[in-house]
Structure 1
Amino acid sequence: MRILHTEWSDGFGGQERRILAEMKGMRARGHDIWLATREGAQLRVAAETAGIPTLILPLRGAADLASAARLARELRRLRIDVVNTHSGVDSWVGGIAARWARSPVLLRTRHLNNPLRRGWTNFVHYLPDRIVACGEAVRARLVEECGFPAAQVVSIPTGIDFAGFRPARDRATVRAGLGFGEDDELLLMVGVLRGVKRHLLALDALQRLADARPRLQLILAGDGPMRDELGARADALGLSGRVHFLGHRDDVPDLLGAADALLLSSRSEGVPQAVTQALGLGLPVVATRVGGVPELIRDEDTGLLVPPEDAEAMAAALERVFADPDWARNLGERGRAHVHAHFSLDAMLDATERLCDDLLHHSARTAR
């Protein structure tokens, strides 16, 4: 198959990582892959580093018909079979371009668990042959709350290459490089520093544990628009020496291997890669019960779930993890077994191939 992905976002969080993993995985299976994105997108750099050809478009907004016309010409020139759009702006531009170019298959991958509203002003949602939800919770919301036809929405959870996702350095070396010893309790968060991730809530939970756990440190791997606000809030809570901003990191497996637990404090999620990755390495996880997180974490079995926006419950769950390392270790091991069985990269690629192949065959039959 000849597949082109579109992405408007300049960031590099879980959504962009899934796109990159899918592009690389499908290319390894013999498919031809392209990416259409903006010049400043971090995904563009990662794709080009991986040898995936990119098309640079302005993608100025949903009504950027010039970008749509240019993309449509490229789709015809490259004889693209499948167009897969991802964010809001590129789903408008890519969807219109795919229909102008008469590309056989148009997919829209929905990574977030926020609602999409169908209507004549949002006709873009009627364009895709299928909407790919990154988990059953996302699919259920689109169908039950947003009115999308059940047959139009399929769930393909984000898969992780567990064989390749391994720490390159040992725990002690990574900790020493960060300035910590084995006696320090390291709580890791991985993700873009933006409001929906609710890092401010995590700081409130940490402050509640400050006296009881004097060795507890919060490590934030990721960058984003809330960096300064989070730093100021940490200072105001008296946590400036216990909250550590690492910025964007390419050594996430090393950081997970060095941590004692992972925290997810989001108010909305699809199926978060950081949680899947952490569980895949056997790391205990405390996470909010939102979106597709319960697909990964069965409370008290493969991890701990807490209500969103509840710093007190979050602090209590974290205290349980750090107070009983043996129990937490067993929790992590059960999490590892669960995600290896159900959330692998091969499972995601298999489902994606089947979907595209079925739609292409249907398109070919319809065209006869």
Structure 2
Amino acid sequence: MSQTRFLLAAAVAKLRLEPPSHASARTPANLRYQRTRSLSGSKHPAMAQATGSDSMDTPAGHEGCGSDAKPLSPPAGAFSVVARQSWSPRWHGNGFGRGDSKPMPDSLRIMQVVLSLAPGGTERLVIEICRRLAPGVESVVCCLDAAGEWANELTSLGIPVHALGRAPGFHPSLGRAIARLADRYHVDALHCHHYSPYVYGLVATLLGRGPGLVFTEHGRLSDQAPSRKRRRINPLIERFGGEIFAVSGDLKRHMVAEGFSDARISVVHNGIDVGPPVQPEDRARARRELALDRSHFVVGSVGRLDSVKDFGSLIDAFAFASGTRPNWRLVLVGGGPEEEALRHAARARGVERKVVFTRFRADARRLLPGLDLFASSSIHEGLSLTILEAMACELPVVATRVGGTPEAVADAQTGLLVPPRAPQALADALLALAASPERRRAMGCAGRLRAIQHFTIDRMLDSYLTAYRRQARVSAVPAVAV
């Protein structure tokens, strides 16, 4: 059955199917999709930790960059989400929404629906959301695929993580499994990250007791044209309610090209814990860990070593720029399927001894103070957390002008933007900044200020928490006859 036909069938079936009872939904063995398993022994999620202390208004700790730094303009594509109203059609009785009404809860329980918790930017963001939501907001995580290496970070806090072990293809039973998990934990809203979790989360809201729905699209896997299939499906499925977000204005435009309505999408930029300013001892420690010293000029990047990051172009650019400069080094922090090919490329370009592969590092941010420049060669980005973290560490950024990157990096102010798949242009930008320590320092200070003003995790969490509360209210109001 196609996704479109299934969603229509689910909507009709919803009118005559009783939702699963609480009694039958509490035992994992009762889940129809038998691969479901919990990675936590606790029956209920623990209280999430309180929000961190970094401020989006006052650039505390920025004194090291000088007092003449001026605020930069807001990132392009920024939209307010506080005033946007939710489209959530409610049908009478067992239609859309809960058949029985309940009062607005004093606390919230949110299920984060993801592909997995394998190392990656989206996964790190989901973990931070779970850890930092305000007191009274509890979390549970549902992974469509395997749980992933980072699941233990949440289970160690008492936050349940369930892995559904999805097989290839479209499986309506996954939607039922999510619905039963949501009912088991009395979930107020689902927050689905990426498109597949959104589709299954939507099915779950139709088949279950009607928790609210929040969908965030984080990025694209390639720079290919919008999918024709999604252009047909998306105008239909967006009518079933929920709130839709993109992490950048560029990604919102791509979603509109794939059939979503412009008015249905709000932009919430990713946010980070900016942290305190980098100190000289941080730089010295990072260089020791990288086996580098003060004489080296270090270009670095952080990310999964896969084709969308196009680290091959970065190695080519580094080879062009470093030339006969023996003190230049390139540090690539991350692991992935392209590692061997990239090592071969470094050998072929004659820079094997200048390129440092650290493989995956859970503490990758600790290495950023050891860099002189941060470089991103991606062919597409939603809104890169590593770029934001580099800005927070007062690093100038050289990056490709793709996705949401121009919304983070102010060209010629906090870094330089170049075309994608253009190693020579990337090399020229590296050389331009290498030649001017003063310019690098000014860009680094401006970048940190920009991160503080526009890209804090508190600002992002405030937007999502507002959406959670709206969706919880929508799912809790009495049904209205139409």
1:106 maps to what in 2? 213
Identify the residue that residue 30 of structure 1 maps to in structure 2.
136
Contact 1:36 1:56 in 2 (8 A): yes
The question of whether the paired residues in 2 share the 8 Å contact of 1:106 and 1:127 is answered with: no
Distance in 2 (CA, whole Å) between partners of 1:140 and 1:105 is 25
Task: Count matched residues.
Answer: 366
**Aligned residue among 379, 390, 415 for 1:278:** 390
Distance 1:125 1:245, change over 3 A: farther
- CA drift of 1:178 comes to 1.6
Return 5+ residue gaps in structure 2 as ranges.
Answer: 1-107
- Give deviations 1:220-251, integer Å, cap 9, x for gaps: 11111111111111111111111111111122
Q: Offset of 1:168 from its aligned partner?
A: 11
Query: Which amino acid in structure 1 is aligned with residue 207 of structure 2?
Result: W
How much does 1:214 deviate?
Answer: 2.2
Task: State the match for 1:298 in structure 2.
Answer: 410
Query: Could you say what secondary structure the match of 1:119 adopts?
Result: helix
Structure 2 residue aligned with 1:161: 273
Rounded Cα–Cα distance in structure 2 between residues aligned with 1:60 and 1:126 = 28
Q: Does residue 1:58 correspond to 2:169, yes or no?
A: no
Partner of 1:204: 316
- One-letter code aligned to 1:21: E
Deviations 1:115-145 (A, max 9, x none): 46232499666555122111222112222x2
1:9-48 maps to which residues of 2 (within 5 A)? 9=116, 11-26=118-133, 28-37=134-143, 38-48=145-155
Work out which of the residue numbers 252, 258, 271 in structure 2 matches 1:139. Answer: 252
Change in 2 beyond 3 A, CA 1:126/1:246: farther
Whole-angstrom CA distance in 1 between matches of 2:383 and 2:448: 16
SS of residue paired to 1:187:
strand
Amino acid at match of 1:277: E
Query: Could you tell me which residue of structure 1 aligns to residue 469 of structure 2?
Result: 357
User: How big is the shift at 1:187?
Assistant: 0.9
Please give the per-residue CA displacement for 1:42-72, whole angstroms capped at 9, x wherever unaligned: 2323322343211221122452233332221
Aligned CA distance change for structure 1 residues 189 and 285 (closer, same or farther; 3 Å) = same
Alpha-carbon shift at residue 300 of structure 1 (Å)? 0.5
Which whole-Å CA distance do the structure 2 matches of 1:188 and 1:287 have between them? 12
Give the Cα separation in 1 of the matches to 2:306 and 2:300: 16
The reply on whether 1:74 has 2:181 as its aligned counterpart is yes
Q: Which moved more, 1:226-235 or 1:204-213?
A: 204-213
Distance (whole Å) between structure 2 residues aligned to residue 166 and residue 105 of structure 1: 41
Aligned partner (choices 151, 176, 182) of residue 288 of structure 2: 176
Contact 1:138 1:292 in 2 (8 A): yes
Distance 1:120 1:344 in 2: 34
Judge conservation of contact 1:165–1:253 (CA < 8 Å) in 2: no
Q: What is the letter of the counterpart of residue 218 of structure 1? A: L
Structure (1/2) with the larger helix percentage: 1
Q: How many Å separate the matches in 2 of 1:195 and 1:366? A: 49
- Counterpart Cα distance in 2 of 1:276 and 1:131: 23
Counterparts of residues 183-194 of structure 1 (less than 5 Å):
183-194=295-306
Label 1:250 to 1:120 Cα distance change in 2 as closer, same or farther (>3 A). Answer: closer
> Shift in Å at residue 288 of structure 1?
0.5
TM superposition shift of 1:352: 0.7
TM-score, with length taken from structure 2: 0.71
Output the CA distance in 2 between the equivalents of 1:23 and 1:252.
20
Contact 1:282 1:332 in 2 (8 A): yes
The Cα of 1:310 is off from its aligned counterpart by: 0.9
Rate the CA distance shift 1:33–1:169 in 2: closer, same or farther, 3 A.
farther
Q: Which has the larger radius of gyration?
A: 2
Q: Offset at 1:271?
A: 0.9
Whether 2:197 is the aligned partner of 1:84: answer: no
Q: State the SS of the aligned residue for 1:203.
A: helix
Cα distance in structure 1, aligned partners of 2:253 and 2:430: 30
The structure-2 alpha-carbon separation of the partners of 1:110 and 1:120, relative to structure 1 and needing over 3 Å to count, comes to closer
How far the C-alpha of 1:331 sits from its partner, in A, is: 0.8
The CA deviation at 1:338 is: 1.0
* Root-mean-square deviation (Å): 2.3
State the alpha-carbon separation in 2 of the partners of residues 136 and 187 from structure 1: 28
Q: Following TM superposition, by how much is the alpha carbon of 1:160 offset from its aligned partner in structure 2, in angstroms?
A: 0.5
Preserved contact between residue 309 and residue 380 of structure 2 (Cα < 8 Å)? yes
Determine what percentage of the aligned residue pairs are the same residue.
30
Which of 244, 263, 276 aligns to 1:151? It is 263
Shift of the alpha carbon at 1:184? 0.5
CA distance in 2, matches of 1:92, 1:131: 12
Decide whether the 8 Å contact of 1:205 with 1:312 is kept in 2.
yes
- What is the distance in 1 between the residues matched to 2:235 and 2:336? 29
Deviations along 1:64-101, one digit per CA (max 9) or x if unpaired, are 23333222111112111111122344333333223211
- The two structures have a TM-score, normalised by structure 1, of 0.92
The separation in 1 between residues aligned to 2:110 and 2:346, in whole angstroms, is 45
State whether residues 68 and 94 of structure 1, in contact with CA within 8 Å, keep that contact through their aligned partners in structure 2: yes
SS in 2 for 1:202: helix
Q: Is the 8 A contact 1:61 1:89 kept in 2?
A: no
Kept in 2, the 8 Å contact 1:86–1:111? The answer is yes
Could you tell me which runs of 5 or more consecutive residues in structure 1 were left unpaired when the two chains were aligned. none
Query: Are 1:118 and 2:231 an aligned pair?
Result: yes
Kindly tell me: are residues 127 and 253 of structure 1, through their superposed partners in 2, closer, same or farther at Cα, counting changes over 3 Å?
A: same
